[in-house]
Amino acid sequence: MSVILVFLLVIAGFAGWWLSHQGLMTKPWLEQGLAGDLVGLDRSALPTAKIGLGVFLAVVGCLFALFTSAYFMRMAVPDWQPLPLPRLLWLNTGVLVLSSVALQCTSVAARRGQIDTVRLGLATAGLTAFAFLVGQFMAWRQLTADGYFLASNPANSFFYLITGMHGLHVLGGLVGLGRTTTSAWTGTRPERLRLGVELCAMYWHFLLFVWLAIFALLAGWAATFIDICRQLLT
């Protein structure tokens, strides 16, 4: 359970930082009125939707941290036989990076108000993300063709479970991206479109980060890394 505890420690650090800006030491029973110190303590200047997405990503992060924790705990049982990862995953990683980069460019273009680049960027991001999903599915097919079935070994089970869960999140993201893309063509207010693009970019970068982390986990590098850390500590 150490992975999830480390994750929660990060969340707690963030929450602590935020709380420290909320005037926890003030004495509300003495302070009446509006002006002065209180003005800075109102809501954040960030758009509400971004904060909402941020909280949601913390929940998703928690989910994957828990899967990782379970992975490490189950791995310690001797029946664990790591499966060879298909080479295709490298290509998929590249495609997902491309998707993320495309959305980053789109977000810059949206800030500058270049609607054509925004449309191009959104379409590219959507297509590459879709290609990633197809690629993941192909990787599954390759593994089953080689005899690595879901139930034959816990390493396989975790592989399908974690990649599947990540794929579902990409799929959900595609729904949001689809809505933003439609609004780029139907002509919504520019600031609204910009917000939509930025939200998509944020979600995409997060999913890319999660993918890199679970790729490292499934390939076994994460375990090696933790072993090295453990040896350094003891």
- Work out which of 6, 10, 15, 134 binds another protein, going by CB under 8 A: 15
Does 83 participate in binding another protein (rule CB under 8 A)? no
Asked if residues 170 and 203 have their Cβ atoms less than 8 Å apart, the reply is no
- Work out which of 2, 20, 48, 224 binds another protein, going by CB under 8 A: 48
Show the binding pattern over residues 122-161: x = contacts another protein (CB under 8 A), - = does not. ----------------------------xx--x--x---x
Does 116 participate in binding another protein (rule CB under 8 A)? no
What number of helices (H) and strands (E) belong to the chain?
7, 0
d(CA 64, CA 210): 8
Kindly report each contact of residues 179-188 with a partner whose C-beta sits within 8 Å and lies 24 or more positions away, as own/partner: 180/122, 181/119, 181/122, 181/123, 181/126, 184/115, 184/118, 184/119, 184/122, 185/119
Considering the complex, state which of residue 14 and residue 221 has its C-beta at the smaller distance from another protein: 14
How many binding residues for another protein (CB under 8 A)? 53
Does 19 participate in binding another protein (rule CB under 8 A)? yes
The candidate with the shortest Cα–Cα distance to 99, out of 57, 12, 107, is 107
d(CA 216, CA 218): 6
Tell me which residues in 157-186 interact with another protein (CB under 8 A).
157, 161, 165
d(CA 95, CA 110): 22
Does 2 participate in binding another protein (rule CB under 8 A)? no
Considering the complex, state which of residue 81 and residue 224 has its C-beta at the smaller distance from another protein: 81
As given in the structure block, the two tokens for residue 72 are: 């490490």
Does 233 participate in binding another protein (rule CB under 8 A)? no
Which residues of the shown chain bind another protein in the complex (CB under 8 A)?
1, 4-5, 8, 11-12, 15, 19, 22-38, 41-44, 48, 51-52, 55-56, 58-59, 62-63, 66-67, 70, 73-74, 77-80, 150-151, 154, 157, 161, 165
